[in-house]
Amino acid sequence: MPDALLEVRDLRKTYPVRGGVLQRVRSSIRAVDGVSLRIPKGATLGVAGESGSGKTSLARCVVGLQAWDEGEIFLAGESVPRGPWPLAMRRRVQMVFQDPGGSLDPRRPVVDAVHEPLEAFGIGEGRGRRERALDLLEEVGIPREVARRYPHALSGGQRQRIAIARALAPGPDLVVLDEPTSALDVSVQAQILNLLTDLRRRLGTTYLLISHDLEVVAHLADEVVVLYGGRVMEAGPVRAVWDHPRHPYTATLLEAVPDPDPSRPWTPRLAGGAETRRTAPVGCPFARRCPLVDERCRSEDPRAVEIGGGVVFCHRVEEGAIV
């Protein structure tokens, strides 16, 4: 694999669960539990999984919005600090949030949202900085006359385009996309995905895509990491994983996507919700819901099995029960 722009090694993030009158720590949630991944420059890595699988916690650690407990993160070979980032490093990683409306200041014209990071990072000056902000908005499909409106006057798709322009303003090495289309109508989702694809082609942008929508991951990503309970279940080239999923969780996750043909019966096999509350996790986190579970799954952590150009963490794959 080419040298990684982003490399995450054995990352762990735990949240305390408090209770009682004194709000003492009663247990903990292991939101990210030993996750490792690599993204080459110019590539897109998708991180997929249900709500509660640890996707957003992983993204917030990668962009420096929260500190992690254990593990390491490297950006182009440079170690990323757990605490506050230096300004030069913060410029290199930007994020597009799930709700574009909530990430824009309702009291200011939308052009200010793009102008602000240029000012914060000392990019350009005066009128040239303002022109640069307007040019960026035009690059993502927002005309200059629209750029002077306020967020409430724009559609969800327009607001997300502005959020993308703001993320691109500092010229980052990596853009983290946290559910970038989940708050949009289906027709608008396709426009935003096409825009992100076009920007990657023209600018060489590197993306870390966080999504529960498997179609979005398949459309945008080169490789995929499937998370469950904060752990990696399966990883590899997105087309290979989608066409021949080997981990039972990946297979049932794909089966949970409804068939658009109304004449075909559809019954999802994945019941219950994702488990994250594990003070002392033992065994595979998917064991309680897995249709192929055996006693080893409940008592022993699965090891990485390299297969089909990717990696799978599953005892049944290791035993040859799944090929």
How does pLDDT run across 164-181, given as a tens digit for each residue? 999 999 999 999 999 999
Placement of tokens 């290979």 in the chain:
240
Query: Is residue 36 classed exposed, middle or buried when 0-12, 13-18 and 19+ CB atoms within 10 A define those classes?
Result: middle
The stretch 67-86 carries a mean pLDDT of 93
Average pLDDT over the chain, rounded to an integer: 89
The stretch 122-126 carries a mean pLDDT of 87
**Contact of 11 with 62, CB cutoff 8 Å:** no
Of 81-95, 170-184, 271-285, which range is least confident? 271-285
**Contact of 150 with 108, CB cutoff 8 Å:** yes
Confidence of residue 280 (pLDDT cuts 50, 70, 90): low
Q: Is the pLDDT of residue 6 over 60?
A: yes
pLDDT at 222 (0 to 100): 96
Placement of tokens 């939308």 in the chain:
110
Confidence of residue 321 (pLDDT cuts 50, 70, 90): confident
Confidence of residue 270 (pLDDT cuts 50, 70, 90): low
CA distance linking residue 146 with residue 154, whole number of Å: 8
**Contact of 58 with 47, CB cutoff 8 Å:** yes
- Output the pTM of the full model: 0.90
pLDDT in tens, 210-230: 998 888 999 999 999 999 999
CA distance linking residue 129 with residue 198, whole number of Å: 24
